[in-house]
Amino acid sequence: MKKVITYGTFDLLHYGHINLLRRAKEQGDYLIVALSTDEFNWNEKQKKCYFTYEERKQMLEAIRYVDLVIPEENWEQKKEDVREFRIDTFVMGNDWEGKFDFLKEYCDVVYLSRTPEISTTQIKDDLGK
């Protein structure tokens, strides 16, 4: 079984995220999503999520491409996650191109193109109009 992992906040979930998750799953047979906790988002990414971790986790678990959701609590856990879950391929959107190449020592690293026209910021701006 080929195992894939990806990381993110996934708040306000939208079709750009779904495009990413679909293509991440195509890289193997089993997809783990490491979902940023509320604390990690606030302390490390200065992101205040609209939906809580539990709400975002529930939504991700309802997506057909996602097999397991685990918490992302810090920047350093990726190497340990890859080892613990015996990951074959690490996937991220190409806004992170090159940032996680250190993982190439442990697994394949794939950066997929983002869906350009959609973002949570765009959604919030449009709703504010």
Considering only residues 31, 92, 103, 109, which one is a binding residue for ligand C2G as defined by CB under 6 A?
92
Question: Dihedral sign, CA of 3, 18, 45, 39?
Answer: negative
Binding of residue 118 to ligand C2G (CB under 6 A): yes
Considering only residues 3, 28, 93, 107, which one is a binding residue for ligand C2G as defined by CB under 6 A?
93
Which 8-state DSSP code applies to residue 76?
G
- Side chain identity at 94, as an amino acid letter? N
Catalytic residue selected from 45, 99, 104, 124: 45
Binding of residue 9 to ligand C2G (CB under 6 A): yes
Location of structure tokens 């894939």: 4
Q: How far is the CB of 57 from ligand C2G (least distance, A)?
A: 13
Element (H, E) at 59: helix 53-61
Q: For the chain, how long is the longest CA-to-CA vector? A: 47
| 104 given a catalytic annotation | no
How many degrees, rounded to 5, is the angle at CA 112 between CA 10 and CA 28?
A: 85
Considering only residues 4, 25, 53, 72, which one is a binding residue for ligand C2G as defined by CB under 6 A?
72
If you count them, how many residues does the chain have? 129
Considering only residues 27, 36, 37, 89, which one is a binding residue for ligand C2G as defined by CB under 6 A?
36
How many degrees, rounded to 5, is the angle at CA 24 between CA 19 and CA 25?
A: 105
| 99 given a catalytic annotation | no
Residues near ligand C2G (CB under 6 A) are 7-10, 16-17, 20, 36, 45, 72, 92-93, 95, 114-115, 118-119
* Residues with catalytic roles: 45, 47
